[in-house]
A = this chain, B = another copy of it.
């Protein structure tokens, strides 16, 4: 089974998940299988028996097909229970069982569609599926943090072309999330206001990094963008928890996601990208965890990051955590606003 590990020289947890491939030659092989074609694709309609049994289905009106399916990942990074007692922790080497879960959201029966190809109705169904699975996993007391992410293109880490997202629930709140929560809480304690609400107002007033806005969502390129054309999507109304969206917000988010990815495609072609939903840890977690502080619902504001992968994470970034971004976000926003986009919903 997989395990969380932390060494003595830094605070960073890693997941060692040997189930995902072991021989040195496996690494090249997995890249080749990215697009095996619809017949061999486990996510295509008609190949449902190639996947583990379904956790969620948005059925098609004919009663046999489907619009969206959620399945357990066949090669999970984490497992929902420990298969033995935890091993003793040594002085330098901390380890915990890899408890968590790893699901795949198959976003369409169509093999080669991506978000910019979806109609509004399909995208709303996908947002519904995201929200439903989030809610289920957030209520599980074994899990402390739920991350929904989407990798598009091999250079963004996707292992299959067929449109899909992944959800990983972990029994540890990631260091990076803890740090973000700490900053938000410190701001709230000082001002009794949400840092992200105030940041959004500053961005709207300034305007030069704004890409789009509708009644429910605002989209901009962050001041401290690590990657060229990095975009964030924030709900206008304060909310700490992604899974509590109202219906009109789900429609607004579906429209925003289609529009944002169409802008990227218009400007950059079929660019590889990652999409990440950043939300609070489970608030039902045990006392003393960051999620149990009652201030968090006021201090944190969920959002989505869309990160095109035009530059590589190289030695400088790995060695320092410093990112070099050759595209100022103010120029990126201008390019994105000016991009010719057909059929905005």
Contact = CB atoms under 8 A, between A and B. Distances in A.
A84 interface: no
Main secondary structure of the interface of A (DSSP, over half): mixed
A157 interface: yes
A139 B24 CA distance: 43
Contacts of A319: 147, 149, 176, 274, 276-278, 305
Given A5-B223, A184-B9, A275-B315, A320 B147 contact: yes
B18 A151 contact: no
Contacts of A12: 224, 226, 321, 323
Interface stretch (A42-50, A58-66, A166-174, A246-254): A166-174
B312 A156 contact: yes
Identical copies of this chain, number: 2
Given A314-B156, A325-B16, A92 B202 contact: yes
A196 B92 CA distance: 10
B314 A183 contact: no
A307 interface: yes
A268 B149 CA distance: 29
A85 interface: no
Interface residues of A, number: 89
Contacts of A92: 198-199, 202, 223
B275 A223 contact: no
A18 B183 contact: no
B14 A322 contact: yes
A113 B147 CA distance: 42
Contacts of A176: 319-322
Contact of A310 (B27, B77, B307, B310): B27
A331 B19 CA distance: 13
Contact of A183 (B11, B14, B155, B157): B11
Interface in A210-254: 222-226, 228-229
A157 B313 contact: yes
A313 B274 CA distance: 10
Tell me which of A10, A16, A225 has the highest count of chain B C-beta atoms within 10 A of its own C-beta: A16
A7 interface: yes
A75 to B, nearest CB: 9
Interface of A: 5-22, 24, 27, 77, 91-93, 145, 147, 149-151, 154-158, 166, 168, 170, 174-177, 179-180, 183-184, 187, 195-196, 198-199, 202, 222-226, 228-229, 267-268, 274-278, 305, 307, 310-329, 331, 335
* CB-CB nearest 10 A-B residue pairs: A157-B314, A149-B315, A176-B321, A276-B319, A157-B312, A7-B224, A20-B326, A174-B320, A274-B315, A27-B310
Given A151-B315, A276-B319, 7 more contacts: A7-B199, A10-B183, A13-B224, A77-B316, A91-B202, A157-B317, A168-B316
